[in-house]
Chain A
């Protein structure tokens, strides 16, 4: 069965500093990978997704992620964060050919002034 692990429950970072949010997955078949962002009391919004091709994926709001098949990772990065990036970030995986999406437990990014 597929699973997603986000080891960091909280990541504090100062404004304009770089950040990396880690995501590792486990699956016996090929997967699609996603990062979503959730602001307080709202639903989730897609940041970016990896389906195939280039392992470096760029998304909205200046975020990017790199798929590493050998390490089964899909870490999210941003070179310079803003206060408005403060939110909860979720990594998700779906197996090829299915419509089933599994989410990690989330990482709370707190950007400090």
Chain B
């Protein structure tokens, strides 16, 4: 069964360091999402891609976060510099094209970031 791949699963870093997360969506899924989930809370959208284009990055802290999906396939989320408040689970999800919001989101297992 096709899955969304994410790496690393766990990352511990010190504040002010740079961090990067990688996501490979299910083949053929045009829409890709990065969510941040703080412990005990629901996922919050950081950025949404349609193919290689950003559809929504209104909640992305652009002074320190960046995201790209250069060829419309896999994606990278970067944080530089990391702050203590960035400690969270970073979830990647993808959705098939043409679903118009009716389809389910397929989630990866997430990347848990701890900033010391």
Contact = CB atoms under 8 A, between A and B. Distances in A.
B13 to A, nearest CB: 18
Interface of B: 4, 31, 33, 35, 40-45, 48, 50, 55-56, 91, 93, 95, 99-102, 104-105, 107-110, 112
A41 B42 contact: no
Given A45-B107, A100-B56, 6 more contacts: A41-B112, A90-B42, A99-B95, A100-B48, A101-B33, A106-B41
Interface in A54-113: 90, 94-106
Contact of A97 (B4, B101, B104, B112): B101
Nearest to A43: B107
A103 B43 CA distance: 6
A105 B31 contact: no
- Which 10 pairs between the two chains have the least Cβ-Cβ distance? A43-B107, A103-B42, A94-B101, A46-B104, A44-B107, A105-B42, A103-B43, A98-B101, A43-B109, A99-B31
Contact of B55 (A41, A99, A106): A99
A51 interface: yes
A106 B42 CA distance: 6
A90 B43 CA distance: 9
A99 B100 contact: yes
Contacts of B44: 103
Contacts of B45: 100-102
B41 A42 contact: no
A94 B114 CA distance: 30
Contacts of B110: 41-43
B106 to A, nearest CB: 8
B105 A44 contact: yes
Interface in A1-48: 4, 6, 9, 32, 34, 36, 41-46
A34 B103 CA distance: 10
B55 A44 contact: no
